[in-house]
Amino acid sequence: MILTVTLNTALDVTYRVPELRPHTTHRVTEVTERPGGKGLNVARVLSALGHDTVVTGFVGGVTGAVLRQLLAEFATPGGGPKAPRGTITDALVPIAGTTRRTIGVVDAATGDTTQLNEPGPLVTTPEWSTFMDSYGRLLREASAVALCGSLPPGVPVGTYAQLIREAHAAGVPTLLDTSGEPLRRGIAARPHLVKPNADELAGLTGSTDPLRAARDARRRGARAVAASLGPDGMLMVTAHGAWRATPPRRLTGNPTGAGDAAVAGLLSGLVEEAPWPDRLARAVALSAAAVRAPVAGEFDRAVYDEALARIEVTEHPAAA
């Protein structure tokens, strides 16, 4: 199975309003709730691709209870008519604090989203110890682990480095998808793959040239870098070469979750031991297909199949 870690899970709430106008009162016409946080979105895409996943991280309070219930409903097989589905197993660790909500306010006129993210709950030292024990046990069964998203209050900034070292010791390859100081510290622990976007790479390395910045990130410790460049596709730099892939056409839609779909593509390629350019193509195609789906954690299967068939991967000349 593939393990995804989401330390700062969220109950993702989406509100549809006719038009968001600051400092006025709005009647919300539609409310949807789903289990959120990057690693949970990644698991849902992996499930649709046929991979079994286990999700861990922290969950608590009434929002946490709703999150777990929605996750269980999603994980129940037989719901979807689509391709073979992998299982999603809930290994979230209960905490005394309350799981945060994120509110996405979708403007029905334009389709644009305004996002309001609550702060995460405080994680105590005993809760962290319980998580680490569980993480160690889960690693024994994992073929890969993805470490996803921000850190909640009370979790040390060097945490991802610690989780990467544990995975190394267990012989499990790691993918790190975070930003800021947790990314900087995590990279130093030599993860197998990091997936920053261009802004995160520039923040890490000081370079706005993605190829130069990705090579710099490898020197800082990342064994491979898959950088998402928004509508321009992705750039991948490994020990074996550097490639770029661009989606066949520009797609408009909901960019939320495109990065999580790319992470799922990279993970599925990793556990299937696909060649690097194939992993990159899969990530870009899933990312494009996620843009065409209404919510994070889902993707449009037809767009995925079409994009995968048409994406061209070009190799960069060797590094200077």
Angle at the Cα of 13 (from 10 to 19), degrees rounded to 5? 140
DSSP code, position 93 = E
108 near a copy of itself, judged by CB under 8 A: no
Among 70, 87, 91, 107, binds a copy of itself (CB under 8 A): 107
- Does position 252 interact with a copy of itself (CB under 8 A)? The reply is no
**305 part of the active site:** no
The active-site residue, picked from 216, 260, 278, 305, is: 260
Q: Rule CB under 8 A: say whether 29 interacts with a copy of itself.
A: yes
Q: How many CB atoms lie within 10 A of CB 237?
A: 26
Radius of gyration of the chain (CA): 19
CB 152, CB 122: distance < 8 Å: yes
CB under 8 Å to 162, separation ≥6 — which residues?
A: 156, 189
Site for a copy of itself contains 139 (CB under 8 A): no
Whole-angstrom Cα distance, residue 255 to residue 113? 10
Contact status: 28 vs a copy of itself (CB under 8 A): yes
x/- map, 34-73, a copy of itself, by CB under 8 A: ----------------------------x--xx-------
115 lies in the site for a copy of itself, by CB under 8 A = yes
Contact 174, 193 (CB under 8 A): yes
The yes or no reply on residue 179 touching a copy of itself (CB under 8 A) is: no
Among 18, 50, 77, 119, binds a copy of itself (CB under 8 A): 119
Strand partners, 245: 234, 313
Catalytic residues: 260
Contacts with a copy of itself, residue ranges (CB under 8 A): 15, 17, 20-29, 31, 62, 65-66, 103, 105, 107, 110, 112-119
